[in-house]
Amino acid sequence: MRGVSTAFWSIVLVGATVSIGAGFVGGRSIGSAGALPVAEAHKGDDLPAPIRQHLLRRSLFGAHSFDAAGAADPYGDPELGVSERTRSTSAFDPRNDRAKIAVIVVDAGRVGPGLDKFVSSPLPYTMAIAPGDDDAQATAEAIVAAGKTVVVDASQTTPAHVAALLHAGARGVIASLDEQRANDLLRGIDRNAFVVDASLAEDDDVAGAAHKLHRQLYVRDVTADARDDAAYVDFMLRNALALAQHTGTAIVAVHARTMTFDAVARFADRANRDGADIVALSDLDH
pLDDT digits (tens, 9 = 90+) for 227-242: 989 999 999 999 999 9
Could you tell me the CATH number of the domain that includes residue 200? 3.20.20.370
Average pLDDT for 61-71: 48
pLDDT in tens, 77-120: 888 888 876 666 567 888 888 999 999 999 999 998 999 999 99
> Which of 25-34, 86-95, 102-111, 143-152 is least confident?
25-34
The percentage of the chain sitting over the pLDDT mark of 90, rounded to a whole number, equals 60
In a domain, 54, yes or no: no
**pLDDT recorded at residue 3:** 55
**pLDDT recorded at residue 87:** 64
Q: Is the pLDDT of residue 154 over 70?
A: yes
Domain count, the chain: 1
**pLDDT recorded at residue 5:** 54
DSSP 8-state symbol, 82: B
Q: Coil, strand or helix: which one is 231?
A: helix
**Confidence band for 167, pLDDT divided at 50, 70 and 90:** very high
**Confidence band for 265, pLDDT divided at 50, 70 and 90:** very high
Give the domain range for residue 113: 97-283
In a domain, 143, yes or no: yes
**pLDDT recorded at residue 152:** 97
- The CA distance from 157 to 144, in Å, is 22
The percentage of the chain sitting over the pLDDT mark of 70, rounded to a whole number, equals 72
- The CA distance from 27 to 35, in Å, is 13
In a domain, 218, yes or no: yes
Count H helices, E strands: the chain?
A: 8, 9
Handedness of CA 210, 214, 218, 221 (dihedral sign): positive
In a domain, 232, yes or no: yes
- Residue 253: name the closest of 283, 218, 277, 286 by CA: 218
In a domain, 208, yes or no: yes
In a domain, 9, yes or no: no
Q: Is the pLDDT of residue 4 over 80?
A: no
State which amino acid sits at residue 183: N
Return the axis-axis angle of helices 159-167 and 179-187, rounded to nearest 10°: 40
**Confidence band for 33, pLDDT divided at 50, 70 and 90:** very low
**pLDDT recorded at residue 10:** 60
Handedness of CA 262, 265, 267, 270 (dihedral sign): negative
- The CA distance from 228 to 110, in Å, is 17
In a domain, 79, yes or no: no
In a domain, 133, yes or no: yes
**pLDDT recorded at residue 71:** 64
